[in-house]
Amino acid sequence: MAVSVPSYRSNLQVPDVANAYFTNRYPGYRLVSYQCNEQTKSLSVLVLEPLLDGVVCPRCGAYCNRWKDKDRKLLINDWDIAAGGCIKVVVPSRRLRCRCGCTKTEDRPQWVLPGHLVIKQLGAFVQKLLRHRISIEDVSRITGLDWALIKDLDKAALQLAHGGQKDLSRIRRLAIDEISIHKGHKYATVVMDLDERAIIHVVEGKRQVDLQPFFDRLQELGIDKQIESVSVDMNAAYPKLIKENLPHAKIAYDRFHVMQQLNKQVLAAAKVFSIKKALMTYRNLPAKQRKLPQHKRARAVAVQCVKNAEWLVITDQDLLSPDRQERLRLLRENNQLFADLYAVTAKLKTVWRACSEQSALSVLNECIELCEAIADEHGFDDVRKFGRMLRRRAEGITAACVVKFGTNILEGANNTTKVIKRVAYGFRDFEYFALKLLGAFLGIHYKQ
Ligand SMILES: [Zn+2]
């Protein structure tokens, strides 16, 4: 089928159109020569020169066309659809030799992004790609630009969009979370608005002094008294800080944080404990028996079955694949400690489903008793410590049942943080990392 091409009336001749393209893209400059890539035959370098032979001297204001270092050049990155990729644009970067004595280097062309050797249009293109959630690596592959440069562009765009002060007037229920950003040496504290599902504040560090400015701001805005609850990590020293700064806020330990603690403090330790115990049992056998295949097998099974044990125990069973359910069954069958810990974990989860603080407390007390019993039975002290911690934090845990908010929001934030950490080299540039986080959780009512 024939395709009809609309005919445009125009007074322009073909060379004029080409010129118009250049004038549009590189205003104030004209094309003097170009180079092609030998192999691909595609355009690779454009050599430009200014339309004017001189500039206004920044010192005396006179028009000056005397130069030294006439051959100094600047290599600017561009991306051209006709070239099918990145091209270099060469422009002179001469030094003035004005009669007034000024020897300043001429300004970079207006179409160059300030601070970068990239044309503004390419900068805008990069930001467009990034807004479509294309990773920095891929943008780098498409445009041929350096990772660091793309990061700078991304950061500049994020700063413009999310760098300002957030509207906090409607916040009621908050979550405060600390995240490790450099293998436990460096921390960030993240504040979320749970109703809006938005990250509203990210700060480097996890000490009281790091977070105090945020509370001061709430006080200045007069909204410190409207905060009803704050969900926090049990590890940190937040309770004191919150009591001092948010007079009406209940402290709540939600399911996500308690489970996180259980995972780190008890289940991970139980794994090490189980392996040690299995190896010890084997070593304590008489030398003759150690050679028997059934003992070797028993040792192998004991070590093998605790693989990923904490994860199998903590995940809701209906979320496990049939394959993993089978592994969980084997774990409970072969390891009594984990079988017992599984029972506590399952019971503990029901605390957050309780309909009142009172019934939550009674379930929680059963869990604490179970922890004690398991510690006695297996000689495993970490679970006793965890039980005592539950007792100390009982008020905040039972409060969480009444406050009711989605654990999934916190979990989602935590996972996204991990991803951002991995791809964004966050810890090298904290500000960028923080902006990335703010940009990733804009809240359910945010409109671009
Ligand atoms: Zn001058």
Task: Report how far residue 27's alpha carbon sits from residue 79's, in angstroms, rounded to the nearest whole number.
Answer: 16
Give me ligand 1 centre to Cα 28, in Å: 21
Number of H helices, E strands in the chain: 18, 13
Please state the rounded mean pLDDT for residues 211-239: 86
Domain ranges in the chain are: 12-110, 113-162, 173-253+405-440, 255-403
For strands 85-92 and 73-80, give the pairing.
antiparallel
Give me ligand 1 centre to Cα 289, in Å: 97
Task: Report how far residue 22's alpha carbon sits from residue 27's, in angstroms, rounded to the nearest whole number.
Answer: 7
Task: Report how far residue 22's alpha carbon sits from residue 272's, in angstroms, rounded to the nearest whole number.
Answer: 67
Name the pLDDT band for 404 (thresholds 50, 70, 90).
low
| 308, two tokens | 């990923």
Give me ligand 1 centre to Cα 70, in Å: 17
Q: Which helix (H) or strand (E) holds 204?
A: strand 198-204
Give me ligand 1 centre to Cα 60, in Å: 4
Give me ligand 1 centre to Cα 64, in Å: 7
Give me ligand 1 centre to Cα 107, in Å: 14
Give me ligand 1 centre to Cα 73, in Å: 22
Give me ligand 1 centre to Cα 29, in Å: 23
| 29, two tokens | 């400059």
**Domain at 173-253+405-440: CATH code:** 3.30.420.10
Return the pLDDT at 78. 92
Give me ligand 1 centre to Cα 52, in Å: 17
Give me ligand 1 centre to Cα 62, in Å: 6
Name the pLDDT band for 255 (thresholds 50, 70, 90).
confident
Return the pLDDT at 12. 59
**pLDDT tens per residue, range 163-194:** 777 788 888 888 888 887 776 677 888 888 88
Give me ligand 1 centre to Cα 93, in Å: 17
Indicate whether this model's pTM tops 0.85: no
Name the pLDDT band for 391 (thresholds 50, 70, 90).
very high
